[in-house]
Amino acid sequence: MVTNWIRIGILKDLIARTETDILFLIDGLAMLLECPFCHKEMPVEPGPPTTSPRRLTCTHCNRTVVLDQYTGRLMPDRKQAQPRKTPAERYPQGATAGKAFFEPRLSTGRDTLAAVFVIVCIVAIGVGGVSLVTGMRSATIDWSGLRLAPVIEKIEDAVARYLAGGPFSSRAEKDRHLRRGRSLVKKEAYAEALRELDKAIAARPDSYEAHFWRGRALVKTGREAEAIRAFETTIELNPRYSYAYDNLGWIYLRRNQYETSLEYLNQSLALRPENGWALYNRGRILFQKGHVDEAFQDAEAACRLGFTKACQLLKRHGREIQS
């Protein structure tokens, strides 16, 4: 009797499964299923029935796929970690030698004000909790006993400076003028951009971004000497800002001052080795100095990073990229 119940249960389970799933239960039967990545058919050997998805590796693209036992299809493995992008994929080099830099996102003064607001709320909630626990009904609290006096004083001082037009206000003003100036530089309205950037520097003289964008506007208007001073100020305020080294290298390259240009380009590459633009222009300088092999090595490296002009140069000279 027990054996009959087991047989009836197996039949019900087979009837409930789809026709495709039943094929996987037949011993010795392999199927050809399409990979969702490369769209090529791969053989799938039968396996034991299971409710959990079965993970396989495609024989063509070596990607992990999941076999759904109920639909009989291969699907992408969503639990598999996405492969990390290479620096060239994160920072595509699509610029030319005349327009070759990335502009970082600007920070805002709202972040600081939001942090102050959150701290005030946390302290207020903590004080309220202490009041309830200790049974205090009055609004008078011994701050020295709780050791919160220094924190409260700093918060009150920061709020007072903000309301009085202190550093927080000047930072917001700087960011406002800096955004306008950067937008005007991109629109090639350089005179208006310089006025906005001068206001940003007046609000926050320590803003390296404002000095950098002012240098960019000065380069576009042909005032290279002033632009050099602006980029040098940018480096003094932030020595790790590689874009300022790029611009100085480009200015001295235009002036045929190869040694100085090479020095700035090397500093830029030390901070950002995946800078295809700097590699390409360093190769140009090395070529002018007679170091042909080193020049083509830089061009090949720039091409591998996706810098188009380097690839075109190699193709024009009949050079192939060495892996």
Instruction: Supply the DSSP string of 97-163, one letter for each residue.
Output: TTB----PPPP-THHHHHHHHHHHHHHHHHHHHHHHHHT--SS---HHHHT-HHHHHHHHHHHHHHH
Residue 25 lies in a domain: yes
What is the pLDDT, as a whole number, of residue 19? 43
d(CA 321, CA 296): 9
Q: How far is CA 130 from CA 6, 116, 117, 123, 135, in A?
A: 65, 21, 20, 10, 8
What local confidence, expressed as pLDDT, does residue 109 receive?
Answer: 56
126 within some domain:
no
Nearest to 215, CA basis, from 201, 204, 135:
201
Q: How many domains does the chain have?
A: 1
Whether 236 is in a domain gets the answer no
Q: So what's the pLDDT on residue 1?
A: 47
pLDDT of residue 270: 94
Assess if residue 118 is contained within a domain: no
Q: How far apart are CA 200 and CA 209, in angstroms?
A: 10
Q: Is residue 113 part of a domain?
A: no
Domain assignment present for 42:
yes
Is 28 contained in some domain? yes
pLDDT along the chain (323 residues), means of 10: 47 48 45 80 72 78 78 73 56 47 50 75 73 51 54 62 55 85 92 93 92 95 94 95 94 94 94 93 92 91 90 82 58
Alpha carbons 185 and 204: distance in angstroms, whole number = 20
* 13 found inside a domain: yes
Residue 63: give the domain boundaries: 2-76
3-state helix, strand, coil in the chain (%, to 5): 60, 5, 35
pTM: 0.50
